[in-house]
Every structure is written in structure tokens, then in C-alpha cells.
Amino acid sequence: MARTEQQSTERYGGRWFWRYASPAAFFPLAGRIERLCWAVAAVLGVLGLYLGLFRAPVDAQQGEVYRVIFIHVPAAWMAMIIYLAMAFWSLLGLWLGTRLSFMMSRALAPTGALMTLIALWTGAFWGRPTWGTYWVWDAKLTSFLILFFLYVGYIALAEAFDDVRKGDRASALIALVGAINVPIIYFAAVWWNSLHQGPSVVKQGGPSIAPIMLWAMLTMTFAFWAWCIAAAMHRVRSVIIERERNAVWMKPVVRGQAERERT
């Protein structure tokens, strides 16, 4: 556990990785990333909604209800990407024993769960007028529901231990094993017959939707990215405050940071 910076530099090369693996060094950096990402999310969110609701033309087959795509697809992508990110940080934590990796993993989980909830809900309200049903137990929808339960299970297990390190390790296993579900979701509509349509943006021969629709969706996707990064950075800073309570560096940093942010 007590690897010195010098040792790790010898073993792993570059200094920057280990520098920011330290909660004390990462705390202010996370604050800067957070502020930048809130701003990006706000600007792109407004732009994306404008493009999606006021500029994109009506869909020839589905009518106006297709506009749900501008939140459904970005939320679904984020739900899957965040789970993979959680698995990545969990793996890193188990492998290298870095405390910050587990904190990142935990900070991502609630945002991922909420993105999954948005994707499920908007999918239901898109499915009703287009397929005639809010829900169907097919491969894509079912594996996505499982993703939600994986998030809930991860959070429940992480919080179930009094010893945070045990919670870290136990929940990291859920994150890793559950990651198998992500490619299953992604390819479900390709591998099995599904009501859910196959990919229309990331596919061979380029996207199959009108350019303005694509722009609206990409803008919304980057807005969701920025939101998720900002939320995770905010939460990881809270986790650091909770866990590093007795660290010497903590008191002035948190105090100063909090005061600056309030003004």
C-alpha cells in the first residue's frame, strides 16, 4: 500500500499518473474539471435542445415522437460508458491498490444509475406510441434493466460494509463481472430479433439519419458526457472529504475551496 512516488516512478514510468493518484493532488484538479464540465453541459444542453426541438425536421416514419431520441440515446450511451468506466477504475483499484480508483468507481455509480433510469423511462414512453407497448421482455430491454439492477447492487454492496475497504473490494467484483452485460446490451438488437432498432449512428457506411438530426444528437451526447463528468467529479470530491477527514492536507484545502466556491 505504501508505495513511494519514487518507487512507482521507477516501475511505471511517468510521474503524472501517480501524482494524480493521490487524493490530495487530485482534489483541486477535480474541482477545475467539474467547473469546466458544468459550463460545457449547460451550453451544449441548450444548443442541443434548440437543434433537436426547433431545427430538426419531423421524422418521415415516426412523426414528432422520434425527438425522444435526443435524450434517450445519449442517456443510454452514458449508462453503458459509465458502467465500463466503473469497471475500469475497480480493476485498477484491485490491481494497484490505489484508493482514488475505488473512490472514482463509487462516485460514478449514482450518475450511471440515473442515466440508466432516464434511458429506461424515455424508452418506455417512446416505445408506447411506436411499438404499441411500454415494455417488452426482449434481449435489449431486459439486459438494460439488468444494467440498472447492477448499478443498484453495486451501490448497495459498497455501502453495506462498515469497513470501506471491504466495501470497495466487494463492489469492485460486481462492477467487473457486470461489465460483461455492456457488450450484450450493445449488440442485443443485432444478435437477437428485437423490437428495438439496431444502431443507426455507429455503423458501417456512416450514420443513417439526417445531418441536422445527427448534429442535434451529437450535441446532446456531449452535453450528457459533460454533465456526467461534472457530477462524478463533484461526488468524488465529496467522497474524498468523507474519507480523508483526518489527513493533514485536507483541512485548509477543503475550507479554502469551499469558501471560494460560495462566493
Partner 1 sequence: MIWDSWTAFFDMGGRGYYVWMSFGFTALVLAAEGLLLRQRRAGAEAANDRAEEQGDDR
Interface residue list for partner 1 (CB under 8 A): 53-58, 63-65, 67-68, 71-72, 75, 110-111, 114, 117-118, 121-122, 125-126, 128-129, 227, 231, 234-235, 237-239, 241-242, 245-246, 250-251, 254, 258
As measured in angstroms, the least distance from the Cβ of 198 to partner 1 is 21
Q: Quick one: which of 38, 29, 27 has its CA closest to 226?
A: 38
Task: Please report which residue ranges of 98-210 form alpha helices under DSSP H.
Answer: 99-131, 139-159, 164-178, 181-191
Distance in angstroms (rounded) separating the CA atoms of residues 40 and 228: 11
Residue 253's region, left for phi above 0, alpha for psi from -120 to 50, else beta, is alpha
Q: Which run of H or of E encompasses 87?
A: helix 69-96
As measured in angstroms, the least distance from the Cβ of 135 to partner 1 is 14
As measured in angstroms, the least distance from the Cβ of 193 to partner 1 is 24
As measured in angstroms, the least distance from the Cβ of 191 to partner 1 is 27
Nearer to partner 1, 40 or 91 (CB): 40
Q: Quick one: which of 26, 6, 24 has its CA closest to 15?
A: 6
As measured in angstroms, the least distance from the Cβ of 123 to partner 1 is 9
Nearer to partner 1, 29 or 212 (CB): 212
Decide if 109 contacts 158 (C-beta within 8 A). yes
Nearer to partner 1, 54 or 137 (CB): 54
Tell me how far apart the terminal alpha carbons of the chain are, to the nearest angstrom: 38
Nearer to partner 1, 92 or 108 (CB): 108
Nearer to partner 1, 10 or 162 (CB): 162
